[in-house]
Amino acid sequence: MTTLKTAAPKIALPKTADIAVVGGGAYGLSVALWLRRLRPDLSVLLLDRSDFAGNETGRCGAGFRAQWGAAGNIRLCQESLPSYENFAEEFGYPEGIEFKQDGYLILAHGEEQLDQLRRNIALQARFGVDSALLTAEEAARLAPGLNAAGVVGGSFCARDGSLSPFRVLDGFHRAALRSGVIVRHGVTVDSVEPRNGAFRLRAGGEAIEAGRVVVATDTRIPQLLGPLGIDIPVQPYPNQAFVTEPLPPRLGPCVVSFAHEMFLNQTARGSVVVVASDRRRALGADARPTADLFPRAAARAIDLLPALGTARLLRSWGGLYSITPDMLAVLGETALPGLFVALSGAKGFMTAPAAGRLLAHLVDGQAVPDWFARLSPARFAGGEALDREPAII
């Protein structure tokens, strides 16, 4: 039998938009939605090179925590938490996002890590995070399936947890469409060029004129902004994720171990999700997930949760963290007026509701809180990088 191949239908693209958003992950969808909510009189066009959920949001480990050690990260998560807790009402998504608030347990292997958790908790308390320092025994009781060897304590926050990235993206996507955002997947933006006080985007041989542009492509932001002489310091860093068959209950809360460079989450169905990084891997443009990362990640996961040693693997995948000098998001206007960036600093899924809402206000020329304004890309040009986030796996 002869199989006939036909060309994919050409996607119709508008020739103009008041605001163009490049990138359709959690950040891009959130800012596009909020722009239309703020200014329903403006046309908002969102372009994404992948299929729906084919971006880094769709590859994340699904965790949410406000237990960070830098004020900007804590505040973005705290501002996002009510939106996730009330997602069905705020975004018209009755299907729910499977928000499982069983808390986050962050383990300390050694006194240095425990001291850092103490400092983190003190900072978190300033912004209303109800986290607590645990003894080694208390940490072990929260997650009895863990290997507690070397654990000297931990921290815990009950409002942290996990939620479905696919449902969150679906909820944002549907809400954006209802609000009037024009969404086009499978469209790669090749360049953004300033033109007569506005911008020309080139995508697939076509040109789109936009008054303002938000670039939300995370690790790929330099590809679009570098040719304009705009330096946004971000590097990709690979992670490996895998999910097991359903197991008997082994974990209550999500678990982070800096010693193992790992995040664990047991879903409501019993499957264990593991996300691991590897400090032996180099940063840079060629840092991609590779097959050699998996066996090392699996060995560390089994050491942390011995029950994984006999569990069957359902699937695995790789992703990229966006690494910034201070491991905070980069949100704001560039040196080119009207051109904005939305870079997550590896926490886009957790912080998308607040990041999108506040950046939309900024794009619209409205006032934003001082703490949010400090996340601007201008902080790097002026040598004003914020305190570096210490709580990264």
- The model's pLDDT over 75-121, given as tens digits with 9 standing for 90+, comes to 999 999 999 999 999 999 999 999 999 999 999 999 999 999 999 99
Shared-domain flag, residues 310 and 203: no
Mark the ranges of the chain whose per-residue pLDDT is less than 70: 1-11, 282, 284-290, 384-385
Alpha carbons 174 and 164: distance in angstroms, whole number: 15
**Rg of the Cα atoms in the chain:** 21
Give burial (CB, 10 Å; 0-12/13-18/19+) of 265: buried
Shared-domain flag, residues 239 and 157: yes
In a domain, 6, yes or no: no
Shared-domain flag, residues 148 and 241: yes
Sign of CA dihedral 383, 385, 387, 393: negative
Model pLDDT, residue 4:
42
Model pLDDT, residue 289:
60
Residues 6+ apart with CB under 8 A from 383: none
Alpha carbons 136 and 195: distance in angstroms, whole number: 60
CB–CB of 39/68 below 8 Å?
no
Give burial (CB, 10 Å; 0-12/13-18/19+) of 252: middle
Model pLDDT, residue 345:
95
Locate 84 and state its tokens.
């996730």
Shared-domain flag, residues 365 and 346: yes
* Domain of residue 300, residue span: 100-161+235-323
**CATH number of the domain where residue 334 is located:** 3.50.50.60
Model pLDDT, residue 50:
87
Pairing relation of β-strands 16-22 and 44-48? parallel
Shared-domain flag, residues 264 and 143: yes
CB–CB of 96/167 below 8 Å?
yes
Shared-domain flag, residues 185 and 309: no
Sign of CA dihedral 226, 230, 231, 235: negative
Model pLDDT, residue 279:
72
Alpha carbons 56 and 34: distance in angstroms, whole number: 21
Model pLDDT, residue 393:
86
Q: How many domains does the chain have?
A: 2
Alpha carbons 344 and 244: distance in angstroms, whole number: 28
Model pLDDT, residue 205:
87
pTM of the complete model: 0.94
Shared-domain flag, residues 154 and 270: yes
Pairing relation of β-strands 254-257 and 104-108? parallel
